[in-house]
Amino acid sequence: MWYKLLVGFVLVGFLCNFALADENVVVTASKVDTQIAKTPSFVEVVTQKQIEDSGSIFTQDALIGLLGISISSNGPFGGQTSFYMRGLRSYYTKYLMDGVNIGDPSLMQSQFDMSSLLPYNLSRIEIVQGSQSGLYGADAIAGVVNFITKKGEGKPHATYTQMYGSFGTYAENLSYSGKVGNFSFYLDGTRFDTTGTSKTNSYNHQTDSYSYGGKRDGYHQSAFNSRLEYDLNDFKIGLLINAQKVQNYLDQYSPTYFKPDNSSWLNTTYPGKSYREDSETYLTKVYAQKTFDKLTLKLDGYYFQNLRYFKDNYSYPYPATIPAPQSDFYSNNYKGYRYGSDLQLEYVFSKNFKAVGGLNYTVDRMSYDYPSYFSKNRDNVGAFVEFLPSIGNLNLQAAFREDHFQTFGDHGTYKLGASYLIEPTNTILKANWATGFEAPTLFELYASGVPAWFFSGGNRNLSPEQSKSWDIGFIQNLFNNKVMLGATYFRTTITNRIEYYTNPNTWESTYKNVPGNTVATGIESYIKVKPIKQIELGLNYTYTDSTNPNTNMQSARIPYSITSGYINYSPIENLTLHLDGRYIGTRYDNDSHTHQTGRYTVFDANIAYNITKDLKASVAIYNIFDRFYQDIWGYTTLKRSAYATLNYTF
């Protein structure tokens, strides 16, 4: 029990650290600049400084432990990452990069795998919890995550960052940025290499237990990012480009069917085997903004692609009497493309009332090669209007959106929210009610049939999943803002669910809208304290009840509870000590609750020292007490490891 006491007494909410951000204006909550204290939405901001202070290698490391969020991966260094917000799966969250949807259209579920997202070019991450379909359309039932990239600032300068650590991990980043007159620029290049660890764990038949696997799975990435902007105060135009190429060695593992008991070929011992994924991701956006007296006009166009090439080195140990699936299932090419344009107008009627409206046009396209070449695309036109009135200390938000999809027609959503400041006690009350929807993906609609696997193909008659959600909470500031605490209750109900359905008579499978409601409810609470300038600390707790209607039990991979926290301590001016940790409560990896993967505590630390104003050194330590745990049954996590970073600006 010592670790629980340590978590409760020493640790402080990792999320709470981020809530202490200096930047208190966000754009994602209402699509225009809004103070966090005044927006009805529950928002978290992760800044560049907070990412650096935590010693995060990948961006996902900076998000672990945030309030209402759970993250799991199929192994470290490039293992597919799932992001669960408010008890809902990854594909119920909308992922943006500078406002552009980066969910992959080629996936079975149009979500974003952040396993390869490095933080070097990020200035901040804005996370808006709760349904945002009234502003963003499909796929925003759980909320929105917006990764915002750096702009050039200050005198032109270069920054070189080098990192070296455990498992043969090495990274270099060189950036050049600044502002000359009205022109700002940011350019950077990154190379990341690691021999890695095994993505899967080894199974011991004698003890019916797992341990770290012995074979290493490497990971290699090259990336280039740029942002150019010309700003004339009332008019600006810009261009951003993000490009990434990855070579990633992965393990395929199926512990549900291959856990050994010496009774059946389906239960034979079989460790994970490697296959390689090569991917190329590219995003470019051109944007312009013109400000008149009370009207601001924004126009942008964008192109996004994610190309994945799989190299197969894997096959199941099928006995000779049973035909195995074709071994080239993992030798396939998946290609997702998205392009479109957004128009947005903001009109300020008075200091207490503004309105926002916009039009969005998007085309999604996917293709793959196996079992035969397949390509399909669809377009979406959306229009929204939003009203942001304020009456004294009361701030309101009302958003309405209509989407037309080429595949299933029209769908309307809305969001209503309010926040109120009680001045005598410095208390902020917030509440929201919203509807949302999840559009069927191109794969669910049009996938080619595979008769050998009894898959009859996609279902063109699918209709969207629909949701209703509400939340209510408070934020309390005490002792001249040295103490902040808050709590939120949320509830989301999803109907008309889309599931992979198998006909019990013919064994043929397809996707189908099925009865039964997914219901996710929970409580998020936190406290953060900054008693003196040198110390910053906090603690947060999330309880989530996410019911799977097929079993009436907790949904797979959603922990019942998470307790997380951090401490930042600066004993001297140039030295920062950071400690964070998390306790993951009971969590099951499958719907039948036979594989428990929770009930563990992990601590991480980072020590940073500013040698001079231009030279900074830091050491990050992951999994300080070398705790063995699994986020996903059968897949490994990082052992105790250390990573040293040197950062020089010139």
pLDDT at position 203, please?
66
Q: CA 20 → CA 16, 41, 487, distances in Å? A: 7, 17, 16
Least confident of 280-289, 353-362, 627-636: 627-636
The pLDDT of residue 363 is above 60: yes
pLDDT at position 316, please?
44
User: What is the arithmetic mean of pLDDT over 288-312?
Assistant: 94
The pLDDT of residue 19 is above 50: no
Domain containing 67 equals: 2-649
Q: Which two tokens stand for residue 276?
A: 């390689």
pLDDT at position 65, please?
84
The pLDDT of residue 619 is above 70: yes
The pLDDT of residue 542 is above 50: yes
User: What is the arithmetic mean of pLDDT over 504-527?
Assistant: 94
pLDDT at position 312, please?
66
Instruction: Answer for the pair 299, 273: CB distance below 8 angstroms, yes or no.
Output: no
Least confident of 428-437, 519-528, 585-594: 585-594
- Segment (H or E) for 241: strand 235-252
pLDDT at position 539, please?
95
| Cβ burial, residue 539 (10 Å; 0-12/13-18/19+) | buried
The pLDDT of residue 270 is above 90: no
| Cβ burial, residue 456 (10 Å; 0-12/13-18/19+) | middle
Coil, strand or helix: which one is 7? Answer: helix
The pLDDT of residue 255 is above 50: no
User: What is the arithmetic mean of pLDDT over 33-59?
Assistant: 93
Least confident of 41-50, 80-89, 247-256: 247-256
Indicate the pLDDT class of residue 23, thresholds 50, 70 and 90.
Answer: low
Least confident of 183-197, 315-329, 499-513: 315-329
C-alpha–C-alpha distance, residues 439 and 384, integer Å? 17
Q: Please report, rounded to a whole number, the percentage of residues in the chain having pLDDT higher than 70.
A: 88
Q: What's the chain's length in residues?
A: 650
Indicate the pLDDT class of residue 20, thresholds 50, 70 and 90.
Answer: very low
C-alpha–C-alpha distance, residues 596 and 307, integer Å? 34
Written as one letter, the residue type at 37 is A
pLDDT digits (tens, 9 = 90+) for 594-618: 889 999 999 999 999 999 999 999 9
- Segment (H or E) for 363: strand 353-368
pLDDT at position 323, please?
43
Indicate the pLDDT class of residue 383, thresholds 50, 70 and 90.
Answer: very high
How many C-beta atoms lie closer than 10 Å to residue 404's C-beta?
Answer: 13
**Domain containing residue 77: CATH number:** 2.40.170.20
pLDDT digits (tens, 9 = 90+) for 107-151: 988 889 999 999 999 999 999 999 999 999 999 999 999 999 999
Indicate the pLDDT class of residue 291, thresholds 50, 70 and 90.
Answer: very high
According to DSSP, residue 200 is labeled B
Looking at the structure of the chain, the number of domains it has is 1
The pLDDT of residue 16 is above 90: no
Q: Which two tokens stand for residue 580?
A: 């964070």
pLDDT at position 634, please?
84
pLDDT at position 441, please?
94
N-to-C CA span, the chain: 49
According to DSSP, residue 326 is labeled P
The pLDDT of residue 285 is above 80: yes
pLDDT at position 109, please?
86
C-alpha–C-alpha distance, residues 48 and 121, integer Å? 9
pLDDT at position 206, please?
60
Indicate the pLDDT class of residue 3, thresholds 50, 70 and 90.
Answer: very low
Mean pLDDT of the chain: 89
Q: What are phi and psi of 76, to 5 degrees?
A: -75, 170
C-alpha–C-alpha distance, residues 618 and 606, integer Å? 7
pLDDT digits (tens, 9 = 90+) for 421-460: 999 999 999 999 999 999 999 999 998 888 777 888 899 9
Indicate the pLDDT class of residue 31, thresholds 50, 70 and 90.
Answer: very high
Q: CA 233 → CA 109, 182, 229, distances in Å? A: 41, 9, 12
